[in-house]
């Protein structure tokens, strides 16, 4: 049965030409990627937010790489779920109908792209890219382990034996500079072009669909009130209310893998 809220949201989409999607870790949860703030967010005794910082890197780059190596291993075999697939299929139909869609994600797992989404802005970078600290080159890299030294390392258990990794264990660029994960860490600025594109999309969209984000990390979370102030109809899909919930037009409570297809499948309707 289609609820009145779903019908109202689909009616708003029927009037729209520009749609924006803002996604967070919750969209990948059903693929088996742990979220940041939910259960499973800890690695040993640290939360992701302790290690995803420039300070942690300055203190112990070997430990930060061990953490990312673990995350890369966890993400290496995961597959897009019905939410990613419904968003990609919707983009194809929507753009074929001459409309615009911008998908702005905070996720670094690459699952939207793997599902076939095209117009994706990765606000927080990509776990499958590395950046050279000497020459600045950004390159794709799917090596797991990231270097031979990390073979068998990375256990998430709190009592896992801690191994020290030295400069000789770190991944290196062809120029011999040290490589770091090409992700945005806490306290680092987002890519200026990415952020500008996301702000433009939020200001111009007719409908914003917010999927699986706790809406507490800025500037991404600020895109939600920005879209609303700019006149968009805003809908949120989450398992629970978030700080953004009071400012949205529709809150759909449920798993993204079920709710996103229900909202988007078969839209836009064929007119011929
Ligand atoms: P969080 O882990 O903070 O929040 C995930 C959200 O998804 C929560 O609100 C959950 O209730 C919701 N959720 C979980 N499973 C879901 C499901 N199956 N369907 C729908 N919703 C579900 O993740 P983000 O909001 O993405 O930044 O976190 C934002 C940023 O903080 C991340 O990009 C990362 C992190 O620290 C950086 O690394 C810079």
What are 215-239's pLDDT values in tens digits?
A: 999 999 999 999 999 999 999 999 9
CA-closest residue to ligand 1 atom 31: 217
Q: Indicate where the chain has its CATH 3.30.1600.10 domain(s).
A: 34-77+125-183
CATH hierarchy code of domain 34-77+125-183:
3.30.1600.10
Q: Is the pLDDT of residue 138 over 80?
A: yes
C-alpha 147 – ligand 1 centre gap (Å)? 29
Burial class (CB within 10 angstroms; exposed 0-12, middle 13-18, buried 19+) of 256? buried
Atom of ligand 1 nearest to the CA of 106: 33
Per 3-state DSSP, the chain is made up of helix, strand and coil in percentages (nearest 5) of 40, 20, 45
Tell me the pLDDT band of 35, cut-offs 50, 70 and 90. Answer: confident
Can you say whether the dihedral through the CA atoms of 59, 65, 70, 75 is positive or negative?
positive
Question: Architecture of domain 1-33+79-124+191-272 in CATH?
Answer: 3-Layer(aba) Sandwich (3.40)
pLDDT digits 0-9 by tens, 93-110 = 999 999 999 999 999 999
Do β-strands 18-23 and 100-105 pair in parallel, antiparallel, or remain unpaired?
parallel
Q: Is the pLDDT of residue 2 over 70?
A: no
pLDDT score, position 272: 44
Active-site residue identified among 112, 124, 129, 182? 124
Which pair of tokens denotes residue 146?
Answer: 């990231």
Contact 120 CB / ligand 1 (< 6 Å): no
Which mutation among 24, 87, 181, 242 tests ligand 1's pocket best, with the greatest number of atoms within 8 A of CB? 24
Q: Check if 124 is active-site.
A: yes
Contact 28 CB / ligand 1 (< 6 Å): no
* Nearest of 44, 16, 70 to residue 235 by alpha carbon: 16
Tell me the pLDDT band of 270, cut-offs 50, 70 and 90. Answer: low
Which pair of tokens denotes residue 42?
Answer: 């800890």
Q: Indicate where the chain has its CATH 3.40.50.1220 domain(s).
A: 1-33+79-124+191-272
pLDDT score, position 36: 81
Q: Give backbone dihedrals phi and psi of 189, rounded to 5 degrees, phi first.
A: -75, 150
């Amino acid at each position: 049965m289609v609820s009145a809220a779903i019908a109202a949201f689909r009616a708003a989409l029927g009037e729209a030409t520009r749609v924006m999607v803002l996604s967070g870790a919750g969209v990948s949860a059903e693929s088996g990627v742990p979220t940041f703030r939910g259960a499973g967010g800890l690695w040993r005794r640290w939360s992701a937010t302790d290690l995803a910082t420039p300070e942690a890197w300055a203190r112990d780059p070997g430990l930060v790489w061990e953490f990312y190596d673990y995350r890369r291993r966890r993400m290496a075999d995961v597959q897009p779920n019905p939410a990613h697939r419904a968003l990609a299929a919707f983009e194809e139909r929507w753009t074929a109908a001459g409309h615009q869609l911008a998908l702005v994600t905070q996720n670094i797992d690459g699952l939207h792209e793997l599902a076939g989404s095209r117009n994706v802005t990765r606000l927080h970078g990509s776990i499958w890219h590395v950046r050279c600290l000497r020459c600045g080159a950004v390159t794709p890299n799917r090596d797991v382990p990231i270097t031979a030294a990390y073979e068998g390392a990375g256990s998430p258990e709190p009592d896992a034996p801690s191994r020290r990794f030295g400069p000789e264990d770190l991944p290196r660029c062809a120029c011999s500079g040290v490589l770091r994960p090409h992700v945005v860490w806490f306290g680092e600025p987002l890519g200026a072009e990415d952020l500008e594109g996301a702000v433009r999309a939020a200001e111009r969209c007719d409908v914003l669909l917010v999927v699986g984000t706790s809406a507490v990390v800025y500037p991404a979370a600020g895109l939600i009130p920005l879209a609303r102030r700019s006149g968009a109809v805003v809908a949120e899909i989450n398992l629970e209310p978030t700080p953004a919930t009071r400012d949205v037009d529709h809150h759909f409570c449920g798993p993204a893998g079920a709710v996103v297809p229900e909202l988007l499948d078969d839209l836009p309707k064929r007119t011929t």
